[in-house]
Structure 1
Amino acid sequence: MAWFASVLLVVGFSLRPSPIPELQRTYLDLPGVQLLATVLLVALLIAGIGVASRVRDLARRRRGRQIAEASYVFVLGGLVTGGVYGFSVIWRVTYVLEYTLSAMMIDRWLAAQQLVTLAIALSAYLAMRFVNRSIDKLAQTRALTKHQSEVAYHVSDVAIVAFAATVILTLWGIDLTNIFIGAGAITAVVALTARETLTAMLAGFILLFSRPFYVGDWIEVNETTGIVTDVTIFTTKIQTFDDKHVLVPNDEVTDSQLINYSQNDQLRVDVEVGIDYDTDIDRARSVVVDATEDLEPVKNAPNPQVIATEFGESAILLECRVWIADPTMRRRHQARTDVIEAITTAFEREGIDIPYPHRVHAPREESFPVDGGIDRGSAVSPLED
């Protein structure tokens, strides 16, 4: 009721304007008439509440739940205020309201401060709703991810509330210096006790603005490789290719080497194959290129490349490099499988051998029998028999 008294004081409203005393003397002089007027007033209040409920349901369907509830509370407040004033007029006890309001009355400057404070709070609420709706529209156009939308909600709400609180405190003449000093001390204590949590949170904001990856991207952080399924302020959730869900703190993501395989629209796949030292290297390279350039998973541009990498123990190693589009782990495995099958088939057709290590077992000059029944002096190796 304090704000109501402030409004009355500012506008200079009187609880007994000139028509009210005349109305009381003419129509509300008898107790029976007063009783009948009370019944009618109660009926009007009940009818008003029913109408307000129906309007609330209609507004909820058209304007949303929050606006409907706020409007319903405002209308109920008006009905209660009107009902109390009506009863005081009917039973000629307006002096009670006058006494109550006079006890609550304050000077005009304080009343103006209250009204401006109420206006600032209402403006901040409306601004938060406008900003949140704008963020929802951006999220629908995929300009913002789910994680970015959630962070944007919190950041915008905190910024609006902090600005409104600063204006209100300044309006009431409260020195903000002590508040800032206290907030700084609290921040220092929290920073010392929850350093890792704050570091992860700051890293989450860095990921929000730098946007090195999105939900659904294939990334590699340290030894974790998989698909990003969710990004929060504190952690990044990765589903590995063996169906493990790994939570990586955001500070580890920002401090470690990050590989985003989905950043580009293509990925290079390397396959090594060995050829015999007697094989013509240029001919083997041409056979590999011809065998892999027409494969379905392999892109035509860039064309497959084959280079000699090193001299192995039993073969010269060739590295076949092919590129795939829209890289995923499944497409990568499929491309490697197709390339290996195509190279194997082409080498068999062209008579090119793929060397592999051979293990040769040779007897020693003196061998020792395993069977204890044979004399050591007369032992003969079974391989020499």
Structure 2
Amino acid sequence: MLWPVVTSLSQESPLRPDPVPWIQETYLATTELQLLATLLLAVFVVATLSWTSRFQELLRRRYGTQLAEASSVVLLGAVVIAGVYAFSVIWHVTYVLEYTLSTMAIDRWLAAQQLVTGAIVLTAYLAIRFINRSIDKLAQTRAVTKHQSEVAYHVADVAIVAFAATVILTLWGIDLTNIFIGAGAITAIVALTARETLTAMLAGFILLFSRPFYVGDWIAVEDTSGIVTDVTIFTTKIQTFDDRHVLIPNDEVTNSPLTNYSQNDQLRVEIDVGIDYEDDPAHARSVIVDAVSDLESIKTAPAPQVVTKGFGESAILLECRVWIADPTMRRQLTARTDVVEAITSAFDREGITIPYPQRVHTSRNDAFQIDGRMQEGENMPAVDD
């Protein structure tokens, strides 16, 4: 029968050295003792895992994150292996491990392949973690933007995984020619069926390298104006000033006129005002400059300017130009409000009139038509309707 054979194998197994049979016969002979030993083993495993977590934190502070994570992985693996072996000893089933190991017997070349494959996978994992943490450190120093760091994550991870997969496939003797041919065909199909997505992705890389704006900038793309809250490989997210969140594909951002109000750290604000035709434009310009020069919401350099734009239907049109620092919509609205109020107060003091829209109706040759009849002027002959 199979049981005596397995039992004899287990007795001769290197998994049961001399002390193990004696411990099993002396301290693990009954079910009660086995249950107690299992409970003690569980407590030991939990305590070891807790100690491993503290040990990892100590290593992280002293030697860095990569070494701490690698050490914790090795310790956890050792704890799992020791726990499984101790459990098999407690319940007298070491022959199961022996049988499992015998069925997993492999030659040296296959073992070397497996070891090298594991080493490549571990190296790729550590490289990804190292590069990602390096990118995080660069982002903290503002050497790269948030958008650039996100794109760098994906590019670095894909490159490392692709290189590791190529090395592993070559190690196991898999011909990469057919894989590359299949990948080329799949790429062509994807390029035809997802052209818009690929275009948006390429535009995302263009935005990465050209850097026309940053997260937090105030931009305008066609009819959409607001603050950039996020930039991904495919879309740019803008929060408008009426609290709407708009997602714009990156290809539309690169193909449309783009205005970045935050680029130069200042913005010119223009306010139009009209004065009566009977008022002096030069005096009105001087009054406006004096009224707005001391406002806290605008910059003193460049100084405020007032130009005469032209003739309106009811007024002579003047344009007041002031500059604000660190442009935001709130600062722009505050500056407009302050300038309008200052101009209104100054015009009231100086007696300068801001006329209402009006039209003046006059007749030619002093002739007016009233009630279907024409009144005569001094030199106008009577004319029937």
Shared fold, TM over 0.5: yes
**Given residue 299 of structure 2, which amino acid in structure 1 is its aligned partner?**
K
Contact 2:24 2:90 in 1 (8 A): no
Instruction: Look up the match of 1:9.
Output: none
Verify: 1:270 aligned to 2:270, yes or no. Answer: yes
- CA change 1:93–1:291 in 2 (3 A) is closer
State the secondary structure of the residue aligned to 1:216: coil
Counterpart secondary structure, 1:207: helix
Deviations 1:325-356 (A, max 9, x none): 12111111121122122223323333333344
User: Secondary structure at the residue paired with 1:283?
Assistant: helix
Distance in 2 of aligned mates of 1:306 and 1:196: 48
Check whether the contact 1:52–1:72 (CA below 8 A) recurs between aligned residues: no
Bigger drift between 112-121 and 331-340 goes to 331-340
Contact 1:299 1:323 in 2 (8 A): yes
In structure 2, the partner of 1:123 is: 123
CA RMSD of aligned residues (A): 3.7
Unpaired stretches in structure 2, ≥5 consecutive residues: 1-11, 58-67, 363-367, 374-385
Residue 140 of structure 1 and its aligned partner are, at CA, apart by 4.1
Matches within 5 A, 1:165-244: 165-244=165-244
The equivalences for 1:244-323 within 5 A come to 244-323=244-323
Instruction: Decide whether aligned partners of structure 1 residues 144 and 41 sit closer, same or farther in structure 2, where only a CA change above 3 A counts.
Output: farther
Pick one of 49, 52, 55 that aligns with 1:56. 49
Matches of 1:51 and 1:229, distance apart in 2: 49
**Deviates most, 129-138 or 168-177:** 129-138
Q: Deviations over 1:266-322 (max 9, x none)?
A: 110011223344544433322222221111111110101122222334433222111
- TM-score using structure 2 length: 0.75
Higher alpha-carbon deviation: 318-327 or 231-240: 231-240
Deviations 1:135-192 (A, max 9, x none): 3334444545554444333332222211111111122222222211111111111122
Distance 1:338 1:101, change over 3 A: closer
Cα displacement (A) at 1:117: 0.7
Task: Compare 143-152 and 120-129 and name the one that shifted more.
Answer: 143-152
Q: Distance in 1 between matches of 2:55 and 2:311?
A: 76
- Structure 1, residues 192-216: CA drift from partner, whole Å, max 9, x if none? 2222222223323333343322332
Q: Which residue of the partner structure matches residue 80 of structure 2? A: 76
The residue type equivalent to 1:349 in the other structure is R
Between the aligned partners of 1:349 and 1:92, the Cα distance in structure 2 is 103
Aligned positions, number: 343
Partner of 1:164: 164
Could you tell me whether the CA contact under 8 Å between 1:271 and 1:336 is conserved in 2?
yes
Aligned to 2:370: 365
**Which SS does the other structure have where 1:269 is aligned?**
strand
Shift in Å at residue 258 of structure 1?
A: 1.3
The SS at the match of 1:126 is helix
